[in-house]
Amino acid sequence: MSAPGSSLEFTVVHACRRDGSGGSPTAVLDESSMPDAERRLVPARAGASHAVFLAPDGGVRFFTAAGELPACGHGTVAAVALLAHRTGKPEHLLRVSGRTFWGQAVSVGDAVFDAVFDPGPIVTRSPDQSEISEMCAAIGVGPAAGAAIATLGRPRMLLPVTERAVLDELRPDFDRLRAATDRLGLLGCYVYTIPDDGRAAARMFAPSIGVPEDIANANSTACLAAHLGADLRVDMGDRLGSPATVTATVQPGGVLVGGQAAIIR
C-alpha cells in the first residue's frame, strides 16, 4: 500500500489481536536507503504507532515518531507474520540490535498467523522508593507494593494495581511522566492487574518514545512473565478502542512471547 500523496510502500499488520479483531496497527516496510529522519515520519503516515523495516538478511529496525528503538515486541510479531505470509515458511531468523534469534508464525486463517519469538534475556530489580513514588505520582495511583524495574532492550517499570477498574480509570500526567521516565532512564511504565489464573490486563505508557499509550506491548508482557515466573495472557488496548492480547510462556531458558497477527493491507 502507498501512503496518500506519496510513493511510500508499506504493509499494515495488526499485531496481537484479540478474538479475531483489534490489535496494534504496525507499518512494515522493506529496508531501503531512507534517512532515519524520514523513518520517524512513517508511523503517522501509515496510521500506526510504530514502523518496522525488514532487510533481506533478516535485519529488523523499529521506529516511532521519537526515533529508533532497540527492540519492539509487537513489531517483531508483525515482522514474523509478514515474513511467513510472503514465504509460506513458519520459521525465520531475525537480527535485532546485534542479536540473532528465531521467530515463528503459524497460519491460522487467511493472512492470519499465531506468532511467537524469544525476546532475549530479561533482567529485573527492585526499584527504590523514590523511583516508585515518582512514577506513581505521574501515573496517578497510590504507592504500589511489588513494583519492579525490568530491562529488555531498555528498562521499564512494572507497576501493579489491585483492580481492573483502577487500571481503566488511569489518567496519567503525560508531561510529568515523560520527565520522570527521562530522569530515571526508563522506556515507560507498564501498569498491570494482578493475574488471576494466568489472565491479566495492562496499559503501557511511554510518552518518551512518542507513544503516550501503547495498544499492545509484548516485550513488557514478557518482562512481567519473567518477573512473576508465570505464563500469562494479558489484555491491552481496550481504552484505545482496539482490544489486544499478548501471550507469554515461561521456558527453562527464558520467555516466549507473541500474539495473533493479521495482514490487513
226-262 tens-digit pLDDT:
999 999 999 999 999 999 999 999 999 899 999 999 9
Which residues, other chains included, contact 197 with Cβ-Cβ below 8 Å and sequence gap of 6+? none
Closest CA to 177 of 150, 140, 217: 140
Which residues, other chains included, contact 5 with Cβ-Cβ below 8 Å and sequence gap of 6+? none
The per-residue pLDDT for 42 is 96
The per-residue pLDDT for 149 is 98
Using the predicted structure, report yes or no on whether residue 5 has a pLDDT greater than 80.
no
Judged by phi (left if over 0) then psi (alpha if -120 to 50, else beta), residue 200 lies in beta
Residues of the chain with CATH 3.10.310.10: 11-118, 123-255
The per-residue pLDDT for 206 is 96
Query: What is the rounded CA–CA span in Å between residue 82 and residue 18?
Result: 18
- CATH number at 11-118: 3.10.310.10
Using the predicted structure, report yes or no on whether residue 4 has a pLDDT greater than 50.
no
pLDDT bracket for residue 6 (50, 70, 90): low
- CATH number at 123-255: 3.10.310.10
CA atoms within 13 A on the CB side of 42: 32
Claim: this prediction has a pTM higher than 0.75: yes
pLDDT (mean) for 89-104:
95
- Dig out the grid coordinates for 201 from the structure: 490486563
Widest CA span in the chain = 51
Mean pLDDT of the chain: 94
pLDDT (mean) for 94-103:
95
Query: What is the rounded CA–CA span in Å between residue 258 and residue 16?
Result: 7
Kindly report the length of the chain.
Answer: 265
Query: What is the rounded CA–CA span in Å between residue 196 and residue 224?
Result: 14
Q: Tell me which DSSP letter residue 127 carries.
A: P
